[in-house]
Chain A
Amino acid sequence: MATSSLLSRISEVASSAGGALLGRAQSLRLPGVGTASAKDSPEVAARRWRAVTVLTDRIGTGPDLPAPLAAFGDRIEVRTTPAPAGKGTELAARFTAPADATDERVGKLREALRQAKQLIETGEVLRIEPQPEGRRPETPQGRVLEGAAARAPKEGVL
């Protein structure tokens, strides 16, 4: 394998590892560290409602569902509930079939909920790329961070 191919492969692996690392780090339950983000068992996690609270009186359902969630079709169920004390409306979703709730798909559902909230509250989904940046050398640690950042919209405790 040529040196450039090998380096490219190392970069890909590092980037993938960064994304996986972010996901795994949020599954750890270490004494005194990260307990706020510890995940449920896969069975419980598959049935848990993923929810955001949106500062609005009403959120459309059925055909009026925000586009990022509508894209899931009937693979998800959605519920909306008035939030207490004027905090808006709670928007929750989960996969209809627990078997559909793989880590990857739950990640996409998290991202869709966040985007739905942004669309309702601000009218658009915030973009970050492209933007100014200096030279980004192909280092393993750099690629790990890039992988983690790329995965970050789909990760978290949501």
Chain B
Amino acid sequence: MKALTWTGVNQLSVEDVAEPTLLNGHDVIVKVRRTTTCGSDLHLLSGYIPFMRAGDVIGHEFMGEIVEVGPAVRHRAVGDRVVVSSFVACGSCWYCAQELYSLCDNANPNPGITEGLWGQAIGGCLGYSHAVGGYAGSHAEYIRVPYGDGSTFVVPDGVSDDRALFASDAAPTAFTGVDLAGVRPGDTVAVWGAGGVGQLAARISELVGAERVVVIDRLPDRLQQVREVIGAETIDYTSTDVAAELRELTGGRGPDVCIEAVGMEAHSPGPQGVYDQVKQQLRLQTDRPTAVREAIMSCRKGGSVFVLGVFAEMVDKFPLGALMNKSLRFGGAQVHGPRYIPRILEHMAAGALVTEHLATHVMPLDEAPHGYELFKEKQDGCVRAVFTPNG
């Protein structure tokens, strides 16, 4: 079958590879109908997560049709049209019982790597490096999904493939942030980043009752989508002082909740951006936390700051004094997919959560390297490139 493989830093290739097989009793094999680029893939592509081996199949946000089930699978059948949670979770350990699925104890076959990095191993993620399991990813005609009963979700009739696709990772990641940050009715929420996750964090904040939502980015096409599709306000950080804008919008208080959906390759037009770029390139810090700093400084006293963007390890110039003295609540998480995907599919079926506009570039898998180029360089208004491995 065809699959998109990482072949080196900033190098991708479509190759012929073996088809996946059932390896465990709880596995299912999914025929991939839609699979999309994610901003976090760019960290793999750029070499900032140094646990990729040439030949690794990437991709973790997808939907498709079940074509084979293992003997221990009880609740899924061949022919089910499903969306799949990007993070792998066993559903049986204490963390899964608490619905903290990305922290699953049993789903990362390589725990020694992340235990060394972070003190504990998190769960596994499909197509996202050997640090989180080394699983083959979804930019392929077929994919093996472990723990099929708990990791796949039947898409309701009436929800199109193009909409359901984003229930795999972008929407549940956004929901994770909104929920765990504690967004409440009446809140003002600021979201850094107008990519797929940022836009959906804004929309889900509205769905849970936020009174005012503001999204910060620099890309005009994305900010336009935020205004026209999501219905939130926008700030272009290249043309104004973000913290000052937010103070003015909130009567001097600052947002109640600040959600960072940017990650380790944040951009900044000022000297701070140059500083972070130089330190990252010299490997004196692994991540550029520009948006996190701004969120902490902008948040109202006693507010909540939540990190959804992917970070690898160490950052410099972290405003711990502001965090402590302003009594901020601070958190972060990878996506707890199974906790939110059923609710997301309900919102999608009701028309309250639309996502099709994110798929700005739909193309065959053969064109995936070009799709990633458009996505990485933000060319032609690309928000997400979506691949159709089976036509």
> Does A8 make an interface contact (CB < 8 A)?
no
Inter-chain contact B119/A117, CB cutoff 8 Å = no
Complex Cα gap A152–B134 (Å): 11
Q: Of A42-50, A59-67, A95-103, A121-129, which stretch is located at the interface?
A: A121-129
Inter-chain contact B23/A134, CB cutoff 8 Å = no
Indicate the member of B26, B56, B111 with the most A CB atoms within 10 Å: B111
Could you list 19 A-B pairs, sorted by A, with CB under 8 Å?
A22-B112, A55-B97, A87-B94, A88-B94, A121-B90, A122-B92, A124-B24, A124-B72, A126-B146, A134-B7, A134-B55, A136-B54, A137-B55, A145-B51, A145-B130, A149-B130, A155-B116, A156-B116, A158-B111
Mark contacts of B118-150 with chain A using CB atoms, 8 A cut-off: 1 yes-contact digit, 0 otherwise: 111100000000100111100010001011000
Complex Cα gap A55–B105 (Å): 10
Residues of A within 8 A of B72 (CB): 123-124
Residues of A within 8 A of B5 (CB): 133-135
Q: How large is the interface on A (under 10, 10 to 19, 20 to 34, 35 or more residues)?
A: 35 or more
Q: Is the interface of B mostly helix, strand, loop or mixed?
A: loop
Known contacts A53-B94, A149-B134: A121-B106 contact under CB 8 Å: yes
- Interface size for B (C-beta < 8 A) is 53
> Does A73 make an interface contact (CB < 8 A)?
no
Inter-chain contact A157/B17, CB cutoff 8 Å = no
Known contacts A124-B26, A149-B134: A132-B115 contact under CB 8 Å: no
Indicate the member of A25, A55, A154 with the most B CB atoms within 10 Å: A55
> Does B194 make an interface contact (CB < 8 A)?
no
Inter-chain contact A139/B133, CB cutoff 8 Å = no
Chain A residues proximal to chain B, CB less than 8 Å: 22, 25-26, 32-34, 36-37, 52-53, 55, 87-88, 110, 114, 117-118, 121-124, 126-137, 139, 142, 145-146, 148-149, 151-158
Residues of A within 8 A of B116 (CB): 22, 25-26, 34, 37, 155-157
> Does B1 make an interface contact (CB < 8 A)?
yes
Complex Cα gap A149–B129 (Å): 10
Inter-chain contact B53/A156, CB cutoff 8 Å = no
**How far in angstroms is the closest Cβ of chain A from B99?**
14
Inter-chain contact B140/A132, CB cutoff 8 Å = yes
Inter-chain contact A152/B15, CB cutoff 8 Å = no
B106 interface neighbour in A117, A135, A151, A155, Cβ under 8 Å: A117
CB closest chain-B residue, reference A28: B116
Known contacts A123-B72, A155-B116, A157-B116: A131-B23 contact under CB 8 Å: yes
Complex Cα gap A56–B116 (Å): 27
Interface residues of B in 1-59 (CB under 8 A from A): 1, 3, 5, 7, 13, 15, 17-21, 23-26, 51-57
Inter-chain contact A135/B55, CB cutoff 8 Å = yes
**How far in angstroms is the closest Cβ of chain B from A18?**
10
Given contacts A131-B20, A155-B113, 10 further A-B contacts (CB under 8 A): A22-B112, A26-B112, A26-B116, A34-B117, A122-B147, A123-B25, A130-B21, A134-B55, A136-B55, A149-B110
Inter-chain contact A135/B26, CB cutoff 8 Å = no
> Does B314 make an interface contact (CB < 8 A)?
yes
Inter-chain contact A132/B57, CB cutoff 8 Å = yes
Residues of B within 8 A of A25 (CB): 116
Inter-chain contact B17/A133, CB cutoff 8 Å = yes
> Does B345 make an interface contact (CB < 8 A)?
no
Residues of A within 8 A of B57 (CB): 132-134
CB closest chain-B residue, reference A33: B314
**How far in angstroms is the closest Cβ of chain B from A112?**
13
Mark contacts of B47-78 with chain A using CB atoms, 8 A cut-off: 1 yes-contact digit, 0 otherwise: 00001111111000000000000001000000
